[in-house]
Amino acid sequence: MPPKNKVTKKRKASVSSGSQNIMEAFRRNGSPSKMSREAHTSPMVLDDNVTNPAQQDAIAHATVVLGCLPRQLPDKKLVVHRFQEPRSPKLPDHLFEDLWSKLHRRIVNAFNKEGVEENRYSAYKACETICKYHDAEELFHRLEREYAKQTRSLAETLKVAAKDTNEPFLPVLKRFWVDFSHAMNLLQSIFMDLDRRYVIHKTKYASIIDLGQRLFQEYVMDDSSVQHRTVVDILGLVQEERDGTLIDVSLIHSLTDMMVSLNIYSTVFEPAFLENTRKYYAAEASRLINSMAVSEYLLHVKKRYDEEGKARIEAYIHSSSRIRLMEVVTEELVFEKNIEILEKGLDTMIDNMDKEPLHVLYCSLESSDHLAELRTAFADYIKQRGVELIKDPSRDSTMITSLLTYKNKLDTVLKDCFDNDASFANTLKDSFETFVNSRKSRPAELLAKFIDARLRASTKKNNTEEDLERLLDRLLVIFRYLQGKDAFEAFYKRFLSKRLLLSRVSSTDLEKNVLLKLKTECGPGFTKNMEAMFNDIEVSAELNNEFKASAVYPQDDMHMHVNVLAQGIWPTYAQSEFSLPSEMVACQVAYEKFYTGKFKGRRLAWQNALSACTLRAHFPKGAKELTVSLLQSVILLLFNNAKVLSYGDIANQTNLESKELKRVLHSLACGQHKVLTKEPRQNEVVESDVFHYNSDFTANGVRLKINVVQQEQSSEERKATETKVIVDRQHQLEAAIVRIMKAKKTLTHTELMNELFGQLKFPLQATDIKKRIESLIDREYLARDNEQSGVYNYKG
């Protein structure tokens, strides 16, 4: 191995001489000369930004020698820098012209589609050489002039074609554009170095292609004849497609893409396209709205939405036009015809549950001010159809069922057609509440009656408690719309009392669950009395067990169960005065003795009108067990002593009022189970009738229930309940006025009205409020202010 210092010296000499030879060659000839072997093996300088002599010295001192070294590594590191190419002089003129001639032929060939692929690399190198020797500016200007020349030539040809109306123009334009674009791409690959070194940095163009496109726009598409013919022909094809004719969509796609590339799509084509669209659909809307059902028309609108917003955009219209295009289509097909659509078709579509057209209408109007018109029409529909359901008294028996069906229908429309829009949900709520309260307290009464019937019939129809729970939840929705919830409470309490007293409760848990729902909805005060009614029944059951075990309990065959009801909690009923059989009187006396002995100072008042009996009747064709009212049982027991009784005989023995007696006799002799017969055999009971024990009576089953007249609420009872509701409201209204005035001391009439409407839950009438205020003034709870008109002061 040679000595280390000898190797180091040789490597230093190699670096020095190689670098000097290369630099000298560039200074002398402007291009690198043939390098010596030593030059080729010299380290390469990579950093061409090193110009400071001090930095160069640092680099020289950092250079180390490659070769065989001892095991220990030197402390200094090798730093390799890029060789900096010296600035080249400009090409001689004759050499520039030779290279330009070669490039010019390639340009011409590209526009003429002739052999441009041949020797493309040599053309690229020619461009690179020119740019390298700082003639890029001259090359660009010559290229720009040649592009302009070629483009003007194309423009002249296209202008002639545009004026020839006998020949298709768009295919010619497409062919020219495709050829021009192909030429631009080919030439861009040749003039890539010009792009990189000069065009991007020193001109207004983004590339050679950008230059070509701007020239094409200037000389071809900015020409009025070419531009007009292009737009008109494209719009003609679009209209043909809208009318159902198949067209060459690729042709339009190419040309709209061309306009986008030339930056004239939004200024030249799109405004004309949108205006043409507006006129087309304005005419179509006027034609179809009068010849189609509204539901069919809206389905046609949906079809047009799909065509314009999807198919046409995907096929050839630029996606930037989608929003404006759909706005135009929607405005002409829906906005301009919205009033006609709503007046002619909304009611019919909801009646027929045409959900798809309704959803199309909603989606069309969703983001516009016209949505309010749909909401108003929806409210009008709800109220109009709702009033039709409840205004006819002859349809009272089906009112609640109809309301449930109607509410379910409206909920479906809200969900499937109006996307559960919150504003439409509020409209549904307000409109439903308006019409359902238009008939005062009747819907509240019928709702209470409907729930009563379902609770009584739950065991008969084999309904599961889950089914009843779901039904009750739906009924509770109707209940929420009632303004007169106090009326519902009064009627529901009356029906509940009959279920409890006549043993018609099928499920105590279900009954109490209804009360829990009402309590949750209206507060504990709403159900307090009804909960107390259940407590009375439970306490009465315990008392009856004690009574049966007592010494005063009668030891005959008659069994008696007594319900002790707290006065003021239970509804009041009209009393019917009549004579009881002695056995029954004895039972009542025995219970009174037991009760007054247990509770000192308490007094019982017997409510015979609500009592019921179970009789064992022995007919020749089989014994029966009859469930009847106390009044019916009193009359039937008379026939134990006589098989034939006249109307007068029965009246004398029972002392029952005539109207009530006729009603009871009718149920026994003219009802479903005719345990009595009468003469003459007409359906009406008169005072001359004679009644017979029906020895031929037969019926399926042993246990029979004869319809109890008292179970059906009479008109008198309904009027009494309504009267009670009115009186209770008057008391609540007066109490609210006093409470408010006591707190505020002084209020105007308007302020007092607002406070009352905010606090009271039942519907208020201004006349009723005025009457209560006058009554309170007369009783000196309030006084009118002497100085200010319409102002009240609290007196206390």
Give pLDDT tens digits for 153-174.
999 999 999 999 899 999 999 9
pLDDT for res 479: 94
For residue 37, give the amino acid letter: R
Helix, coil or strand: residue 205: coil
The residue among 207, 222, 237 that closes a domain is: 222
122 with 175, same domain: the answer is yes
* Residue 123 to residue 104: CA distance in whole angstroms: 10
pTM: predicted TM-score of the whole model, two decimal places: 0.74
- In this prediction, residues 30-35 reach a mean pLDDT of 40
Q: Are 325 and 333 in contact (CB under 8 A)?
A: no
Q: Are 139 and 194 in contact (CB under 8 A)?
A: yes
Query: pLDDT tier at 89 (50, 70, 90 boundaries)?
Result: low
The more confidently predicted of residues 253 and 483 is 253
Query: pLDDT tier at 82 (50, 70, 90 boundaries)?
Result: low
Q: Which residues of 265-274 are buried (b: 16+ CB within 10 A; e: fewer)?
A: beebbbeebb
Question: Which domain CATH number covers 640?
Answer: 3.30.230.130
| 589: Cβ contacts below 8 Å, ≥ 6 apart | none
* Residue 27 to residue 33: CA distance in whole angstroms: 10
Q: Which residues of 656-685 are buried (b: 16+ CB within 10 A; e: fewer)?
A: beeebbbbbbebbbbeebbbbbbeeeeeeb
Averaged pLDDT of the chain: 85
pLDDT for res 75: 56
pLDDT for res 245: 94
576 with 543, same domain: the answer is yes
- In this prediction, residues 75-96 reach a mean pLDDT of 65
Whether residue 80 lies inside any domain: the answer is no
* Residue 173 to residue 164: CA distance in whole angstroms: 13
Tokens of 330: 């929607």
Judged by average pLDDT, the poorest of 449-463, 468-482, 569-583, 745-759 is: 449-463
101 with 217, same domain: the answer is yes
The residue among 710, 727, 754 that closes a domain is: 710
758 with 642, same domain: the answer is no
Can you give the residue range of the structural domain that contains 210?
Answer: 93-222
Judged by average pLDDT, the poorest of 179-183, 396-400, 574-578, 599-603 is: 574-578
Please determine, for residue 45, whether its predicted confidence score (pLDDT) is greater than 60. Answer: no
Judged by average pLDDT, the poorest of 254-263, 351-360, 730-739 is: 730-739
Whether residue 405 lies inside any domain: the answer is no
Whether residue 61 lies inside any domain: the answer is no
According to DSSP, the β-strands at 791-794 and 782-784 are antiparallel
Please determine, for residue 725, whether its predicted confidence score (pLDDT) is greater than 90. Answer: no
768 with 685, same domain: the answer is no
Whether residue 725 lies inside any domain: the answer is yes
633 with 677, same domain: the answer is yes
Whether residue 257 lies inside any domain: the answer is no
Please determine, for residue 224, whether its predicted confidence score (pLDDT) is greater than 80. Answer: yes
Tokens of 742: 């006591």
CA-atom Rg of the chain in angstroms: 52
Judged by average pLDDT, the poorest of 133-137, 191-195, 338-342, 586-590 is: 133-137
DSSP 8-state class, residue 196: I
The more confidently predicted of residues 344 and 796 is 344
Query: pLDDT tier at 4 (50, 70, 90 boundaries)?
Result: very low
Residue located via tokens 């409210």: 379
Q: Are 427 and 375 in contact (CB under 8 A)?
A: yes
pLDDT for res 116: 58
109 with 216, same domain: the answer is yes
Cα 792 to chain centroid, rounded: 48
pLDDT for res 320: 94
Tokens of 450: 């409907």
Query: pLDDT tier at 775 (50, 70, 90 boundaries)?
Result: confident
197 with 118, same domain: the answer is yes
The more confidently predicted of residues 140 and 458 is 140
User: 541: number of CA atoms within 13 Å, CB side?
Assistant: 8
Q: Are 496 and 452 in contact (CB under 8 A)?
A: yes
Instruction: Give the number of domains in the chain.
Output: 4
Please determine, for residue 57, whether its predicted confidence score (pLDDT) is greater than 60. Answer: no
645 with 729, same domain: the answer is no
665 with 703, same domain: the answer is yes
DSSP 8-state class, residue 568: T
Q: Are 131 and 139 in contact (CB under 8 A)?
A: yes
- In this prediction, residues 654-678 reach a mean pLDDT of 90
pLDDT for res 217: 95
pLDDT for res 528: 94
Whether residue 464 lies inside any domain: the answer is no
Q: Are 444 and 397 in contact (CB under 8 A)?
A: no
Query: pLDDT tier at 517 (50, 70, 90 boundaries)?
Result: very high
Whether residue 281 lies inside any domain: the answer is no
| 294: Cβ contacts below 8 Å, ≥ 6 apart | 341, 344, 345, 346, 348, 349, 357
Query: pLDDT tier at 462 (50, 70, 90 boundaries)?
Result: low
Question: Which domain CATH number covers 765?
Answer: 1.10.10.10
Rounded to the nearest 10 degrees, what angle do helices 485-501 and 524-548 cross at?
10
Percent of the chain with pLDDT over 90: 56
Please determine, for residue 36, whether its predicted confidence score (pLDDT) is greater than 50. Answer: no
Judged by average pLDDT, the poorest of 19-23, 125-129, 345-349, 727-731 is: 19-23
DSSP 8-state class, residue 711: G
Helix, coil or strand: residue 67: coil
The residue among 222, 255, 289 that closes a domain is: 222
Sheet arrangement for strand 782-784: 746-748, 791-794, 782-784
CA distances from residue 159 to 151, 464, 702 in whole angstroms, order as listed: 12, 85, 107
Judged by average pLDDT, the poorest of 31-35, 117-121, 533-537 is: 31-35
685 with 753, same domain: the answer is no
pLDDT for res 365: 97
User: 442: number of CA atoms within 13 Å, CB side?
Assistant: 18
705 with 760, same domain: the answer is no
